[in-house]
Amino acid sequence: MALLAGPNGAGKTTLMKVILGLVRPDSGSFEVDGAPVSIDKAWKRRIGYLPEAVTFSDNLSGLQLLRFFARARGVDSKRVDAVLGEVGLGRVRRRAVRSYSRGMRQRLGLGLGVAILAKPELLVLDEPTAGLDQEGLTLLWRVLAEWKEAGRLVLMSTHDLALSERRVDTIHVLREGRVLVKGSAGELRRKAGSTHRVWLDLVDSEAEARRLHDAIRNWGKGSMSLDRGQLRVEVSADELLELMRIQGDFPKAVCGLRVEEPTLDMVYEELLGGEQR
């Protein structure tokens, strides 16, 4: 499961549209497993797509709409009812789409993109989390987890990085049409040099606590502050283990420990900010 991130105009949607044959690039090539791909009907059969902020025709019901996509994709129409139930629209399946809420329309799109479309090898989702309520989000992540388990691929873009970071395998940060950085959430944290915040609650025994404080100060990495018996240290991901080792040398100095990872949003800001600088 790969995530495309980047500011507006970075090229996320354009890249997806190139893959779908909706944008014809001026130059460059498109390869899958090292082999060039031509965007033809055979390729399109391998892909499912859900565009951003899609508004379905008001004249039809959810059932009629899904039946069309089922026919177009050669999927048994009996599956339509099952899928509508799966995306939580079973009870409103005969209602006109115009009466659906935004979240319901997104879930309908999810039905089209994920469940109905003949289980394509690659699923391309442009901002699928936009407009989804909590129930819809839970459904999206459940369906995508099943998709991933089945060995299928997902390429998605989203602005909700915090929501996605534990679920995606690779994150590609784009800027002005090129990949700025890519990797797992952990790798991105390292590349951004984002700091982890560590809080150490010191015990009352001042001597042991003082020795730990001095050891960290002598270590000379990160930044440190002491406030009402709590030591706060900011270190990079690489320095974190070393700090833990130092702390381990003074087992009686600490009665509580909390580590706060930088959020992916913070990492993203740092990466883009660093590039701008």
Partner 1 sequence: MSRVGLALALHELSERIRDRWVLVISVLFALLASGVSLYGRIAQADLEALTGPSLVTLTALLVPLVALVLSHDAIVGERDRNTLGLLLSLPVSRLEVVAAKYLGRSVALTLAVVVGLGAAMGAGGPSGLRTLVALMGPTILLGLAFLSLGMLVSACTRRQITATSIVVVTWFLLVFFYDLALLGILVISDGAVSQQTISSLVVANPAGLYRLQMMQVFAGPELLRSLGMTVALPSPGTLGLLWTGWLVLPTAASGILLAREKVI
Q: Which of 12, 17, 107, 196 binds partner 1 (CB under 8 A)?
A: 17
Number of other CB atoms surrounding residue 224 within 10 Å? 18
CB of 130 to partner 1, least distance (A): 12
In order, the DSSP letters of 195-262 are EEEEEEEE-S-HHHHHHHHHHHHHH--SEEEEETTEEEEEEEHHHHHHHHHHHHT-TTTEEEEEEEPP
Contacts 24+ apart (CB under 8 A), 39-44: 44/20
Q: Which stretch binds partner 1 (CB under 8 A): 42-50, 80-88, 234-242, 268-276?
A: 42-50
Distances (CA, A) of 227 to 194, 199, 201, 230: 23, 10, 10, 5
Q: Which stretch binds partner 1 (CB under 8 A): 59-67, 150-158, 161-169, 238-246?
A: 59-67
Q: For the chain, first and last CA: distance in Å?
A: 30
Could you give the CA distance from residue 106 to residue 208 in angstroms, rounded to a whole number?
57
Q: Which of 21, 90, 183, 193 binds partner 1 (CB under 8 A)?
A: 21
Q: Which of 53, 162, 241, 244 binds partner 1 (CB under 8 A)?
A: 53
Looking at the Cβ atoms of 64 and 263, the one nearer to partner 1 is 64
Number of other CB atoms surrounding residue 96 within 10 Å? 14
Task: Let me know: does 128 contact 140? Beta carbons within 8 Å.
Answer: yes
Six-digit token pair at 103? 């979240």
Q: Which stretch binds partner 1 (CB under 8 A): 17-25, 145-153, 211-219, 252-260?
A: 17-25
> Which residue has tokens 């659906």?
100
CB of 89 to partner 1, least distance (A): 17
Q: Which stretch binds partner 1 (CB under 8 A): 1-9, 38-46, 168-176, 239-247?
A: 38-46
CB of 19 to partner 1, least distance (A): 10
Q: Which of 2, 54, 137, 240 binds partner 1 (CB under 8 A)?
A: 54
Burial class (CB in 10 A: 0-12, 13-18, 19+), 167: middle
Contacts 24+ apart (CB under 8 A), 34-41: none
Q: What is the dihedral of CA 24, 27, 32, 33, to 10 degrees?
A: 180
Q: Which stretch binds partner 1 (CB under 8 A): 61-69, 146-154, 227-235, 243-251?
A: 61-69
Counting contacts by CB under 8 A, is residue 32 touching partner 1?
no
Q: Which of 7, 9, 72, 130 binds partner 1 (CB under 8 A)?
A: 72
Counting contacts by CB under 8 A, is residue 68 touching partner 1?
yes
Counting contacts by CB under 8 A, is residue 112 touching partner 1?
yes
C-alpha of 116 from chain center: 23
CB of 40 to partner 1, least distance (A): 8
CB of 46 to partner 1, least distance (A): 9
Looking at the Cβ atoms of 75 and 173, the one nearer to partner 1 is 75
Counting contacts by CB under 8 A, is residue 49 touching partner 1?
yes
Write out the residues near partner 1 by the rule CB under 8 A.
17, 20-24, 41-42, 44-45, 47-57, 59-60, 64, 68-69, 71-74, 112, 124
